[in-house]
């Protein structure tokens, strides 16, 4: 059964935020055993796929497949008409994102007290794992270790390397941490308790597998760009860690690597049509507590993050040029013309 047929079966039914009660294809094969351990944190979906205008409301599931086929930014090409029911697991989320703001813009937006950015921040339309990217965190300044935490803007490497790792290459596999288990996993639990940060983004990319096939028989994946409707900054929840190269002296600055990962959760309805996961965000009201390293209780920390509010994101297909990390420019986030 395709995703669209499965969703058609829900016509007239009441929408629910509980993915375990939805048809498997409609939730993109989310493992029911991996449902959130914190009920109530997944925002109920109130819109369907969209670019600028909502076309689905909570409780309005009738004719769902027609809306998906015909109203994804006006596309009618078969590539955009349906998701493949036999495509298997999607790539991990979040795998690429965009940062368009300057260091000064980010410092003002997040009330940063200290800017630890020593090179000009150029807009990056294709931030990929192992690249460096600006983040906001709070800790004592390097030149005043006895001082209290100070909110800082820094540039760190995406892909968390645990302090106990023997090889820093492990970071390329730890670009995301599941919100459901981040407080338990050995690679993340210490950082979750005391080293949290915010990753400022302008938007992020996701891919879904179409029914088209490559020469090797794999599904052709169509990239989509997701951004805040108000085109503001999306504050993603993350954690960071320090790793020391044992081959260098401890007091050598080059001996240390600071890396981060993005926390993800089950996708809300408006994103779940494309991917089963999405990044956690931190609302402005929770920035202070999220960055506070003295708040250590896992339940208290979990309560500080949430998925983007349903209906707050624009979503539209973009060029496959984003698949190549060497491509970088504003053309990557331009919507594809309707076919």
Q: Which positions are annotated as active-site residues?
A: 94, 206
Output the CA torsion 101→104→108→110 (10° steps): 60
- DSSP secondary structure code for residue 35 in this structure: S
Q: Are strands 219-228 and 313-317 parallel, antiparallel or unpaired?
A: antiparallel
234 by DSSP, 3-state: which?
strand
Beta partners for 306? Answer: 281
Task: State how far the Cα of 265 lies from the Cα of 35, in Å rounded to an integer.
Answer: 9
Strands (E), 59-149: 96-99, 114-116, 124-127, 132-139
Structure tokens at 228: 């805040």
The end-to-end CA distance of the chain, in Å, is: 26
Q: How far is the CA of 234 from the CAs of 45, 252, 279, in angstroms?
A: 18, 35, 10
In degrees, rounded to 5, the angle at the alpha carbon of residue 163 between the alpha carbons of residues 158 and 168 is 50
> Is residue 8 a contact partner of residue 271, using CB atoms and an 8 Å limit?
no
> Is residue 236 a contact partner of residue 262, using CB atoms and an 8 Å limit?
yes
> Is residue 152 a contact partner of residue 142, using CB atoms and an 8 Å limit?
no
Beta partners for 258? Answer: 242
Q: Which helix (H) or strand (E) holds 141?
A: none
* Number of Cα atoms under 13 Å in the Cβ half of residue 339: 12
Task: State how far the Cα of 25 lies from the Cα of 83, in Å rounded to an integer.
Answer: 9
Q: Which helix (H) or strand (E) holds 37?
A: none
> Is residue 129 a contact partner of residue 158, using CB atoms and an 8 Å limit?
yes
């Amino acid at each position: 059964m395709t995703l669209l047929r499965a969703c058609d079966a829900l016509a007239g039914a009441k929408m629910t935020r509980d993915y375990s009660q939805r048809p498997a294809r409609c939730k993109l094969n989310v493992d029911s055993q991996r449902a959130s351990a914190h009920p109530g944190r997944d925002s109920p979906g109130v819109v369907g796929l969209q670019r600028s205008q909502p076309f689905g409301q909570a409780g309005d599931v009738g004719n769902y497949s027609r809306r998906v086929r015909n109203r994804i930014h006006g596309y009618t090409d078969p590539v955009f008409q349906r998701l493949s029911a036999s495509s298997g697991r999607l790539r991990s989320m979040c795998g690429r994102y965009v940062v368009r703001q300057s260091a000064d813009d980010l410092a003002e937006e997040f009330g940063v007290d200290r800017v630890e950015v020593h090179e000009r921040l150029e807009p990056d339309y294709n931030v990929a794992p192992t690249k460096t990217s600006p983040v906001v965190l709070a800790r004592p300044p390097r030149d005043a270790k006895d001082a209290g935490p100070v909110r800082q803007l820094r540039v760190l490497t995406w892909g968390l390397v645990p302090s106990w790792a023997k090889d820093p290459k492990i970071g390329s596999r730890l670009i995301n941490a599941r919100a459901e288990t981040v407080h338990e996993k050995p690679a993340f639990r210490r950082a979750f308790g005391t080293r949290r940060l915010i990753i400022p983004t302008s938007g992020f990319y996701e891919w879904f597998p179409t029914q088209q096939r490559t020469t090797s028989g794999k599904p052709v994946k169509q990239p989509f760009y997701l951004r805040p409707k108000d085109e503001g900054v999306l504050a993603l929840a993350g954690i960071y860690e320090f790793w020391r190269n044992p081959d260098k002296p401890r007091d050598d600055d080059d001996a240390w690597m600071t890396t981060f990962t993005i926390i993800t959760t089950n996708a809300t309805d408006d994103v779940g049509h494309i991917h089963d996961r999405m990044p956690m965000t931190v609302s402005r009201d929770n920035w202070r507590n999220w960055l506070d390293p003295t708040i250590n209780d896992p339940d208290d920390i979990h309560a500080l993050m949430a998925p983007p509010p349903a209906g707050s994101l624009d979503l539209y297909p973009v060029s496959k040029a984003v698949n190549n990390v060497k491509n970088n420019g504003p053309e990557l986030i331009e919507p594809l013309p309707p076919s």
